[in-house]
Amino acid sequence: MQSDQLCASSWRARPRSFVSLMTLYESNFIRLGWVVPDLRRLPAMTVAVAAGEPPLEIVVHERSRWTTTLELSCLFDTGGQTERAPRLTVRAYHDARLAEACGVAAATPAREADVPARRAPDHWRSNMLLNKWLEYCAGRGYQLAPAAS
């Protein structure tokens, strides 16, 4: 397993700066690799399981030579209905080895109504959420088997 401890950030980087954000994207890519070892061979939809944890659904929305855009969600059974949370949309840049949280959707429409519609996206916050959630998922044992060659 590759470590993200050596994601070098310039001494000039300030918190929430562009350089810090790019370092966070680099860490996200490494942590995504802990859960999904081969992004390029990821099926259109798959589910990762970990003992005692809700299933982790991974859906590929777009795939190109240089990027893969996917959605990560845990599946919760709420009285006969399946609820997906947190529904993180992630774009992985294969050549640059970066992964960016492009969107975070609330689990239910009622919760989405609580968020101001015109609020600018906070890239730092959503990428920190992705980073910590990927660490949590890897720590709980979620991991897709590498695709057979």
Tell me the one-letter amino acid at 33.
G
**In degrees, to the nearest 5, what angle opens at C-alpha 106 toward C-alphas 78 and 31?**
95
Would you call the peptide bond into 109 cis, given omega within 30 degrees of 0 as the criterion?
A: no
Give the global pTM: 0.81
Helix axes 123-140, 18-35, angle to 10 degrees: 30
Give whole-number Cα distances, 52 to 49, 107, 113, in Å: 9, 21, 32
Coil, strand or helix at 28: helix
Neighbours of 123 (CB within 10 A): 16
Please check whether residue 76 is in contact with residue 104, taking contact to mean a CB–CB distance below 8 angstroms.
Answer: no
pLDDT by 10s per residue, the chain, length 149: 666 665 655 545 567 778 888 899 999 999 999 999 999 999 999 999 999 999 999 999 999 999 999 999 999 998 889 999 989 999 999 999 999 999 888 555 444 444 444 444 578 889 999 999 999 999 999 988 665 55
Residue 149: partners with Cβ closer than 8 Å, 6 or more residues away: none
